[in-house]
Amino acid sequence: MNGIESLLRNHLKGFTPYSTARDDFKGDRGIFLDANENALGSVITEKWNRYPDPLQNHLKQALGKIKAIDPECIFIGNGSDEPIDLLIRAFCEPGIDEVLIFPPTYGMYKVAAKINNVSVKEVSLTSDFQLDMIQIKSAINHRIKLIFICSPNNPTGNLIKLRDVLELARVFKGIIVIDEAYIDFTESNSWIEAIPKFPHLVVLQTLSKAWGLASLRLGIAFCNRHLTDILNMIKSPYNISGLTQNQVLIALKQEDRMRSFVGEIKELKRELQSALQQIPIILKIYPSDANFFLVKFKDAKNVFHHLIKNGVILRDRSGLVLCEDCLRITVGTSFENKQLIIALNNYLK
Ligand X SMILES: Cc1ncc(COP(=O)(O)O)c(C=O)c1O
Interacting residue ranges for ligand X, rule: CB under 6 A: 79-81, 106, 150, 154, 179, 181, 206, 208, 214, 219
Residue number, 240 or 312, with CB nearest to ligand X:
240
Q: What φ, ψ does residue 298 adopt, rounded to 5°?
A: -65, -40
Cβ 176 to ligand X shortest distance, Å: 15
Cβ 35 to ligand X shortest distance, Å: 28
Q: What is the 3-state secondary structure (H, E, C) of 212-223?
A: CCHHHCCEEEEE
Cβ 101 to ligand X shortest distance, Å: 12
Cβ 206 to ligand X shortest distance, Å: 3
Cβ 159 to ligand X shortest distance, Å: 12
Cβ 22 to ligand X shortest distance, Å: 25
Residue number, 105 or 224, with CB nearest to ligand X:
105
- Burial label for 163, CB within 10 Å (0-12, 13-18, 19+), is exposed
Residue number, 190 or 344, with CB nearest to ligand X:
190
Residue number, 145 or 209, with CB nearest to ligand X:
209
Residue number, 88 or 344, with CB nearest to ligand X:
88
Residue number, 52 or 79, with CB nearest to ligand X:
79
Cβ 80 to ligand X shortest distance, Å: 4
Residue number, 221 or 344, with CB nearest to ligand X:
221
Q: What is the 3-state secondary structure (H, E, C) of the chain?
A: CCHHHHHCCHHHCCCCCCCCCCCCCCCCCCCCCCCCCCCCCCCCCCCCCCCCCCCCHHHHHHHHHHHCCCHHHEEEECCCHHHHHHHHHHHCCCCCCEEEECCCCCCHHHHHHHHCCCEEEECCCCCCCCCCHHHHHHHCCCCEEEEEEECCCCCCCCCCCHHHHHHHHHHCCCEEEEECCCHHHCCCCCHHHHCCCCCCEEEEEECCCCCCCHHHCCEEEEECHHHHHHHHHHCCCCCCCHHHHHHHHHHHHHHHHHHHHHHHHHHHHHHHHHHHCCCCCEEEECCCCCCEEEEEECCHHHHHHHHHHCCCCCEECCCCCCCCCEEEEECCCHHHHHHHHHHHHHHCC
Q: Do residues 131 and 147 touch, judged by C-beta distance below 8 A?
A: no
Residue number, 185 or 343, with CB nearest to ligand X:
185
Cβ 86 to ligand X shortest distance, Å: 12
Residue number, 22 or 317, with CB nearest to ligand X:
317
Give me the residue whose beta carbon is nearest to ligand X. Answer: 79
Cβ 340 to ligand X shortest distance, Å: 19
CA-based angle 184:166:286, to the nearest 5? 50
